[in-house]
Structure 1
């Protein structure tokens, strides 16, 4: 078995930095500034298209084809759609929010002028000491609101702070890395995979190693609402997403492992490309530390690109993650395994 040496300090610290940087769907200014700095630190310059996807192209040993790998920068969040009479904010979800998992959570509302206001996500019937149905009320976008942490009693008060329709709420992630290797945080989906992708790029730059083929490293923005990969440069022949994979009754998986997604809610992934990813996993990951998954409540930018009509093959893999779209939990073993599998794929180990 071939294992690549991983700088775990770099992998963990970059994951931490990325998670701390707000990027709810559609809001990319801060995360692009951070990504630009992280790429410059390892010797790359990024380009950004009109869809706000950042790219780096690394020449390969062969130009026979161009392969693409991606990890998305956007996270789930909320967008302000209006105001309640008491000045709390009516919101809609950006991505697959589980409202039960964010009740009581702190957030900050990013206004259109770039300023921000702290807030808390509450149920309209928020207290068992006040509301008879506080426990039983369904948590939906119609029963949840953002309460600004300020002296706000009316819509006018909220507007004076700069809040308007179209402001976005970034949920606080509460990142914790434990001494035994476990990590708990919101937005491991997909910041942990961005870090793994950056680690592979760092190794290529530091060692002067070329990928097997011309390789486009992509960082999409709109994955959480299904169209991050809709546009892709036409030179890309195959596109592989690094994204979280799943833990539960249908998955032979736990937090130490890496999943190769062979099918999802949209479609099977390309048969031959998935088999190459499986061969890569067999070469660099220990038995029992990887699995194949049919992810039937889930999809990725690779399949979004495929469904948008791009002429390519799609594939996907990533770290097994508990409580996805909540406060997620994985282990450094899964991040290292994801980086090793990315490494193996771009070096052509599955050919």
Structure 2
């Protein structure tokens, strides 16, 4: 393949900044979809949207099958108005799975029928001058926080007068910081950083006019945080699907904030043996730092695609995130590594030609050969001495 040009870090970070500026909790993703679709069209791809706004962008290759899919999600965590309280504040329920511990103190926007209001999510006992040590001992959870609206709202009727109602979407401010040392700190890096990785890979491929052996579909979903993700965006031509999302750099995990973290399994089970092996080998061939991890409380667009009945090989590439689903931190080096690997993958030759057909005979079917491992004890002793 042609040597891909260096990933443009300025392009990558500028796209990430733009995406973070667009509120897109699940159920409120139209503007993020519009922004991403226009950028894909500017890059020269054919773009199609599903009814609700999932994006399917085609970059043609030498053959239509077995096509490859790359997927990330535009939707983020958020909240929704559960009830209008008699004290003029709002009870909330989370959109997606995240702890109210990380909602306390957050600035937020409420999208009402009459416009956008600003507010702050606070614990029920927020004043230390009033509640003293009870501020620290009160329970943590969504029933124990409320949204204080920045308007004159002393009672429930005041909220109704403003047009605020049950079911209104609440977007949490990302508060991004892009540091000179490459660290990026923000909410919603899951998975707007993944979207930026995909756009940066595409920009580099278009700039370098890189050809691929098969069609690639660049997919952007709008419901991953609530579990539906890539359930309705694939086409039959797609035989393998690589999701780009966040990894977890917490205690007990092998993910890192640098390089590529290749997920070998999540809560739905192992990812495809052959596809994961290929991605790991590509990292070795192209000097891309890589580490493997297994996630226990995690699922991605890949899981939703398989659960919807798509018989595709799946893999998960991640950028290590510290404090996932909270105050998240990543490093630009990991995003660039992922973009590089994405280019090498989509430009690589197809190994399993049989995947061009959804159903076929045994001819060309894969092997998982097991060989007896042999240890060179003499070499091992020399290495230790």
Do both share a fold (TM > 0.5)? yes
CA contact (8 A) 2:4 2:343 kept: no
Greater alpha carbon shift after TM alignment, 258-267 vs 41-50: 41-50
Structure 1 counterpart SS, 2:26: coil
Structure 1 counterpart SS, 2:27: coil
Structure 1 counterpart SS, 2:32: helix
Q: Distance in 1 between matches of 2:81 and 2:264?
A: 37
Q: How many residues align?
A: 347
Q: Which residue of 2 is the match for residue 220 of structure 1?
A: 221
Q: Which residue, out of 254, 257, 260, partners 1:258?
A: 260
CA contact (8 A) 2:98 2:325 kept: yes
Greater alpha carbon shift after TM alignment, 45-54 vs 216-225: 45-54
Q: Which residue of 2 is the match for residue 296 of structure 1?
A: 296
Offset at residue 350 of structure 1 (A): 8.1
Offset at residue 112 of structure 1 (A): 4.3
Q: Distance in 2 between matches of 1:349 and 1:253?
A: 28
Q: Which residue of 1 is the match for residue 93 of structure 2?
A: 92
Offset at residue 32 of structure 1 (A): 1.5
Q: How does 1:268-287 map to 2 (within 5 A)?
A: 268-286=270-288
Instruction: Tell me which stretches of 4 or more aligned residues in structure 1 moved more than 6 Å.
Output: none
Q: Which residue, out of 224, 233, 236, partners 1:234?
A: 236
CA-based RMSD of the aligned residues comes to 1.7
Structure 1 residues without counterparts, runs of 5 or longer: none
Offset at residue 36 of structure 1 (A): 2.5
> With structure 2 as the length reference, what TM-score do the two structures score?
0.86
Q: How does 1:6-155 map to 2 (within 5 A)?
A: 6-112=7-113, 115-131=115-131, 132-155=133-156
Call closer, same or farther: CA 1:154–1:199 in 2, change over 3 Å. same
> With structure 1 as the length reference, what TM-score do the two structures score?
0.94
Q: Distance in 2 between matches of 1:285 and 1:328?
A: 27
Q: Distance in 2 between matches of 1:293 and 1:4?
A: 29
CA contact (8 A) 2:186 2:328 kept: yes
Q: Distance in 2 between matches of 1:262 and 1:333?
A: 21
Q: Distance in 2 between matches of 1:7 and 1:17?
A: 16
Q: Which residue of 1 is the match for residue 366 of structure 2?
A: none
CA contact (8 A) 2:45 2:58 kept: no
Structure 2 counterpart SS, 1:22: coil
CA contact (8 A) 2:280 2:290 kept: no
Offset at residue 4 of structure 1 (A): 4.9
